[in-house]
């Protein structure tokens, strides 16, 4: 993958600007740290981001913390609680978090001049700052606008030791004693997940999963996670199915840092078991071409989340000019402008009504798809995200100067 390949899509000016910025930070090493190498949006972005930064001559790396099952049970509960969901949080859970953080602190190599730590799981690594210095930035990918106070008050003292924090939306900003910047996530238009595909390849994937190409297809691509509301999607499909023939695809895989996936998958399989038109697909990691094909084959895409940090799947679908119906939560609200780039809904009933409207109006689908594509092109492509990270590096090196404004 080379930056030159993006020129045609985003214009030469954008690429030139990236080179100019890269020149100013080439002496710095950006080390990313998160909790999983695959599965979920953070891994998706880093997989695409690191090669592009390197292509710009910037030293960028990515390391993953270690954790056992109890640790990831705890951090998944923290994740849900920070999203505002009810979770029982005990002192023992805080102890498990502290102990795994200590273990990682003993084993981890901190190689970056700028250490970019993603999400709560590795947030405790900041303890090393007092020994080794460097610039530390906490990158929050989740919606912490209304966090469960107990977990947030546990996490906040870690966060406030960082030099700065990055959030995906202004709504997520918190009262913090450190600077906060807004950086939206992004998709890579040239990746296997998003690039154009020949018709035959799309049809082959439908054939493989026994999906009928002749009848409307509703799709949600997501980890099997309650906050993605797969059962709500099935409920909406059932309401639609009474009035229009259609099929539903619920496709997703797991992530090593998400221990709830298997249980949610079982619930979904059970809810779907009596209907051969509901296709529950458990996809292995690196199913990017298949996911691309499934979305391209869809009539309507759903992302009916109950809470959402950003929801990369929304931009991935808008980019493919698909009409998208999303839960009116978190980062979905910056991607779907209601009635312009898709529809926002608050319930399975609302989703069903919008699905019916879209199934009956091909022109509307095309209009939403086109504006959705333009919206992603202007706001949520990887090249913009690379620029923001270069600016973060620059700002990290010059913390007391107003040298940059993040886009
Ligand atoms: N994804 C995937 N395989 C799956 C399910 C999801 O590759 O089985 C991808 C999806 O296409 C998107 C990312 O994982 O790129 C999920 O990011 P999102 O922000 O939508 O949700 P998260 O999982 O981070 O909550």
Atom of ligand 1 nearest to the CA of 251: 8
What 3-state class would DSSP assign to 394? Answer: helix
Cβ density class 339-348: b for 16+ within 10 Å, e for less: eebbbbbeeb
Query: What are φ and ψ of residue 250, in 5° steps?
Result: -115, 105
- Is residue 407 pLDDT above 50, yes or no? no
- Three-state secondary-structure class, residue 342: strand
> What average pLDDT does the segment 350-362 reach?
98
Ligand 1 centre and the CA of 312: distance in Å? 7
CB count within 10 Å of CB 338 equals 13
Name the maximum alpha-carbon separation found in the chain: 65
The pLDDT value recorded for residue 187 is 98
Q: What was the pLDDT predicted at 254? A: 79
High-pLDDT (> 70) share of the chain, %: 98
Q: Which of 141, 285, 291 should be mutated for ligand 1, with most atoms under 8 A from CB?
A: 291
Pocket-testing residue among 41, 209, 281, ligand 1, by greatest number of atoms within 8 A of Cβ: 41
> Which residue's CA is minimally distant from atom 23 of ligand 1?
40
- Confidence at residue 119, expressed as pLDDT on a 0 to 100 scale: 98
- Ligand 1 atom showing the smallest separation from residue 313 Cα: 20
Q: What atom in ligand 1 is closest to the CA of residue 303? A: 20
Q: Is ligand 1 within 6 A of the CB of residue 41? A: yes
In sequence order, which residues have a C-beta less than 8 Å from that of residue 401 and are 6 or more positions away?
A: none
Q: How many C-beta atoms surround the C-beta of residue 404 within 10 A?
A: 17
Give the pLDDT confidence of 249-258 residue by residue, as tens digits.
999 987 888 8
Chain-centroid distance of CA 319 in Å reads 15
How far, in Å, from the CA of 309 to the mean position of ligand 1? 12
Residues 21-79 pLDDT 10s: 999 999 999 999 999 999 889 999 999 999 999 999 999 999 999 999 999 999 999 99
CB atoms inside a 10 Å sphere around CB 245: 12
- Find the DSSP H helices in 114-249: 129-132, 149-159, 199-208, 230-241
Segment holding 402, helix H or strand E = none
Among 256, 312, 317, 330, the mutation site with the greatest number of ligand 1 atoms within 8 A of its Cβ is: 312
Confidence (pTM): 0.95
Which of 43, 44, 195, 249 is the pocket-test mutation for ligand 1 (most atoms within 8 Å of CB)?
A: 44
Q: What percentage of the chain has pLDDT greater than the value 90?
A: 93
316-344 pLDDT, tens digit per residue, is 999 999 999 999 999 999 999 999 999 99
Phi, psi (degrees; rounded to nearest 5) at 2: -130, 150
Query: Which is the closest atom of ligand 1 to the Cα of 288?
Result: 7
Enter the tokens of residue 150.
Answer: 């107990």
Mean pLDDT estimate for the chain? 95
Burial class (CB in 10 A: 0-12, 13-18, 19+), 276: exposed
Residue 20: DSSP 8-state: H
Nearest-5° Cα angle at 389, 20 to 185: 130
**Alpha carbons 252 and 234: distance in angstroms, whole number:** 15
Q: What is the pLDDT of residues 181-191, one digit of tens each?
A: 999 999 999 99
**Distance from residue 305's CA to the centre of ligand 1 (Å):** 12
How far apart CA 281 and CA 288 sit, in angstroms, is 13
pLDDT at residue 402 tops 90: no
Question: Does the Cβ of 259 fall within 6 Å of ligand 1?
Answer: no
Cβ atoms of 324 and 218 closer than 8 Å: no
CB of 294 sitting under 6 A from ligand 1 = no
- Residue length, the chain? 407
What is the distance between the alpha carbons of residues 227 and 311, in angstroms, rounded to a whole number? 11
Average pLDDT over residues 113-134: 98
pLDDT band for position 406 (50/70/90)?
very low
Ligand 1 close to Cβ of residue 283 (< 6 A): yes
The answer to whether 245 and 214 have CB atoms below 8 angstroms apart is no
Nearest-CA residue for atom 4 of ligand 1:
252
Q: Evaluate if residue 206 carries a pLDDT over 60.
A: yes
Helix (H, G, I), strand (E, B) or coil at 339: coil
Nearest to residue 360, comparing CAs of 244, 236, 241, 211?
Answer: 244
Distance (Å) from CA 194 to ligand 1 centroid? 13
Cβ of 310 less than 6 Å from ligand 1: yes
Structure tokens at 207: 């054939």
Enumerate the H helices of 242-331 as residue ranges: 261-272, 288-296, 312-319
Per-residue pLDDT tens for 278-298? 999 999 988 999 999 999 999
């Amino acid at each position: 993958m080379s930056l030159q390949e993006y020129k045609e899509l985003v214009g030469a000016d954008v690429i030139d600007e990236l080179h100019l910025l890269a020149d100013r930070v080439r002496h710095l090493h950006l080390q990313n740290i998160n909790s999983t190498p695959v599965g979920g949006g953070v891994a998706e972005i880093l997989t695409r981001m690191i090669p592009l930064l390197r292509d710009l001559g910037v030293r960028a790396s990515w390391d993953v913390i270690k954790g056992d099952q109890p640790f990831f049970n705890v951090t998944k509960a923290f994740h849900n609680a920070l999203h505002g969901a009810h979770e029982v949080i005990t002192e023992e859970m805080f102890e498990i978090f502290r102990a795994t953080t200590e273990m990682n602190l003993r084993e981890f190599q901190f190689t970056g001049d700028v250490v970019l730590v993603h999400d709560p799981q590795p947030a405790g690594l900041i303890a090393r700052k007092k020994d080794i210095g460097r610039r530390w930035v906490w990158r929050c990918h989740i919606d912490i606008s209304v966090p469960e106070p107990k977990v947030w008050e546990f996490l906040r003292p870690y966060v406030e030791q960082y030099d700065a924090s990055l959030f995906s939306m202004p709504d997520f900003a918190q009262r913090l004693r450190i600077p906060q910047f807004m950086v939206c996530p992004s998709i890579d238009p040239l990746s296997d997940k998003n690039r154009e595909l020949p018709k035959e390849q799309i049809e082959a994937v439908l054939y493989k999963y026994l999906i009928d190409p002749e009848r409307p297809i509703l799709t949600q691509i997501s980890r099997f996670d309650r906050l993605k509301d797969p059962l709500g999607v099935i409920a909406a499909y059932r309401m639609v199915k009474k009035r229009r023939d259609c099929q539903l695809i619920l496709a997703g895989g797991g992530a090593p840092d998400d221990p709830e996936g298997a249980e949610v998958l079982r619930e979904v399989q059970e809810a779907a078991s009596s209907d051969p038109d509901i296709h529950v697909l458990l996809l292995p990691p690196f199913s990017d071409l298949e996911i691309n094909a499934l979305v391209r084959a869809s009539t309507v895409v759903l992302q009916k989340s109950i809470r959402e940090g950003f929801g990369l799947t929304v931009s991935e679908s808008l980019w493919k000019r698909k009409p998208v119906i999303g839960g009116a939560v978190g980062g979905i609200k910056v991607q779907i402008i209601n009635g312009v780039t898709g529809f926002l809904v608050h319930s399975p009933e609302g989703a069903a009504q919008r699905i019916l409207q879209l199934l009956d109006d091909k022109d509307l689908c095309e209009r939403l798809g086109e504006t959705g594509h333009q919206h992603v092109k202007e706001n949520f492509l990887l090249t913009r995200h690379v620029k923001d990270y270069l600016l973060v590096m620059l700002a990290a090196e010059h913390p007391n100067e107003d040298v940059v404004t993040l886009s």
